[in-house]
Every structure is written in C-alpha cells, then in structure tokens.
Structure 1
Amino acid sequence: MAASQPHGKNTAYWGVSWEEGYGYPQARKVGNEIYISGQFNHDEEGNLVAPAPLNSEGKPSDFSSIGEQMRASYDNIAKLLALYGATLDDVVEETLYVLDMDAAFAVVGDVRKAAYRTERPQCASNIIGVSRLAQRSQLIEIVCKAVIGSRAD
C-alpha cells in the first residue's frame, strides 16, 4: 500500500491496520504546514524493516539495526511529504524517539545527513530516549513538522 489521501487532500494514510485501530492519519496538512505522525521502520505493506530481535521479556536485545530502521523512517516521511509536493528540505523540526541513546548517536549523524542530502540539515532536531515504542521490535520513531516554502537557500 502506498501512502494515499482517501479522505481529502489534507490527510494521508498508509492503509495499515494500526491507523484504524488507533484512529489517526499519518500526516495532516494545515495551510502550508505539514504535521507528520510518528514514522518508523515499516514498508508500504506494513511489514517491519530490520526489526530488532527480542529477548525472553519481549524487549529488544540488539540495537544494531537502528540505522536501517532510521533510514526506513526517513523514507516514509519523504513519501508522505511528496503527497503534498514537499520534501525533507521543507522540514523545520523533527523529534527522534529512541530506545538506546548510545546506539542512536553512533549512526544518527550519517543517516540524517544522507536523508537530508546535506552535511548540515536545516531543521531543528530533538532526540529523546524512551522506554518503549509502539512495536516491540522498533528502536526509533521520528515525528516532524514541515512548512512548504521554507527551504533554506
């Protein structure tokens, strides 16, 4: 399932089961602002990309796939932004929620720079350590806000 806008041009969905269960769109456009709900490591069919292995308590036991998960999250953000004619260049703020700060810091710089295609992404960025995310094998989730026409020169 590709990202789509079945309920009008201002909201976007992936068509995955958790949207209906939780009751939310993946993105919402208001004026020239786009709010992207937390994106994580799933493909367009809702399958997890590079899921972390879980221990006997159902918690991630290895954080080495956080870079792959982060790339998948940025890919999802880019696809949603494209529905509104926007790109990552329009992102003005992002928040990364991570399970392991050390694992995140080991890869976040390179992955962000590749996603934004620049050595100095022009958006405010926050990184917050959390104890759990929506999917048990999920290591990162990224939320962002974009403003169409805000691209830095």
Structure 2
Amino acid sequence: MKPSKKVANFGVPWEAAYGYCQAVQVKDVVYVSGQLSHDSNGDLVAPAELDASGRPVNFLNMEPQMRQTYLNAAVLLAKFGATFDDVVEETLYVLDVDAAFTVAGKVRKEIYRAELPQCASNLIGISRLAFPEQLIEITFRAVLASG
C-alpha cells in the first residue's frame, strides 16, 4: 500500500509548465522543492541584472533573493503546519558561493531565529538556475512532530 501524499503549490506558471509540486508531505516528512525569490504574482524579487550574454553582471542581489526564498518556503511549510523549527535539512544552490556565504549567516540566523540554526545545511555552487536572473534556489526537508 502506497503512503498517502499531501501536496502544495503556489499556482505560478512554471509549476504547470515543468509539471511538479512545490512541496509534498509523506507521513511526517515534508519535502520542499527548490524555492526561488518570487512574489505572489510569480515575478522575481530582486532579479539580477544580466549582461548581453544573459549572465548576471554581479551578485549584489543575493541577500534579498535569499531572504525572499526563505519567506516563500515559510509559506509552503505553514501549509503543512510546519515552521523552520521543523526543518532538518536545507540545500542552497547558488551561482556564486562567495556571495552566498557572505550573506547566508545573517539571513539564516534571522530566518531560523537562532545563532546556530538546528538543521543540516549544504551550500553548492552551480553554473545555472531555472531563470537567468535567479542567483539562488533552496530545497528543504522538514519532519513534523508525531501526533
């Protein structure tokens, strides 16, 4: 017998275009797909300025993009009755590791409300994300309290 799944979406265009759910709960675990810095209309918050070849000119918008990405994840977690207190692992995919590392401590401590957030964290540099103006994408795994 397959475990039942509960899913959540934002209703942004790329969910249907790509064909996926933003988050899935199976038993007491919530898996949150890669989140980015979009607003409620699906428009990117603090998009990176691009050069003629479509690459970011700089990474100055890493902090506002990171903060909005965490805020979007908070909305999804809440749909399952979860908060960042329930997050056990996160993976940050970034175009520039140095730019992300510079702001990650500040943003993560703010979001998790702790000097030492109680979750495993991975920071991985990559060459491209879904949208050219995007500098960061974050996935999450949360475990809900039993009963």
> What is the TM-score normalised by the length of structure 2?
0.95
Identify the residue that residue 26 of structure 1 maps to in structure 2: 22
Instruction: Please tell me whether residue 77 in structure 1 is matched to residue 73 in structure 2.
Output: yes
Note if contact 2:92-2:139 (Cα within 8 Å) is conserved in structure 1. Answer: yes
Looking at structure 2, the residues matched to 145 and 12 of structure 1 have their Cα atoms a distance apart, in angstroms, of 14
Q: C-alpha displacement at 1:149, in angstroms? A: 1.9
Q: C-alpha displacement at 1:9, in angstroms? A: 7.5
Looking at structure 1, the residues matched to 98 and 80 of structure 2 have their Cα atoms a distance apart, in angstroms, of 34
Identify the residue that residue 44 of structure 1 maps to in structure 2: 40
Looking at structure 2, the residues matched to 11 and 147 of structure 1 have their Cα atoms a distance apart, in angstroms, of 15
Looking at structure 2, the residues matched to 44 and 93 of structure 1 have their Cα atoms a distance apart, in angstroms, of 25
Residue of structure 2 aligned with 1:124, choices 96, 99, 120: 120
**How many residues of Structure 1 are paired with residues of Structure 2 in the alignment?**
143
Identify the residue that residue 107 of structure 2 maps to in structure 1: 111
- Structure 1: gaps spanning 5 or more residues: 1-7
Aligned AA for 1:21? A
Instruction: Please tell me whether residue 53 in structure 1 is matched to residue 46 in structure 2.
Output: no
Looking at structure 2, the residues matched to 61 and 91 of structure 1 have their Cα atoms a distance apart, in angstroms, of 33
Runs of 4+ in 1 over 4 A off after TM superposition: none
Residue of structure 1 aligned with 2:98, choices 70, 84, 102: 102
- Structure 2: gaps spanning 5 or more residues: none
Identify the residue that residue 16 of structure 1 maps to in structure 2: 12
Residue deviations 1:17-63, cap 9 Å, x none?
A: 10000000000000010000000110111011000000000011110
Q: C-alpha displacement at 1:141, in angstroms? A: 0.3
Provide the alpha-carbon RMSD of the alignment. 1.3
Note if contact 2:5-2:26 (Cα within 8 Å) is conserved in structure 1. Answer: no
Looking at structure 2, the residues matched to 129 and 109 of structure 1 have their Cα atoms a distance apart, in angstroms, of 16
Aligned with 1:108: secondary structure?
A: helix
Looking at structure 1, the residues matched to 8 and 57 of structure 2 have their Cα atoms a distance apart, in angstroms, of 33
Identify the residue that residue 4 of structure 1 maps to in structure 2: none
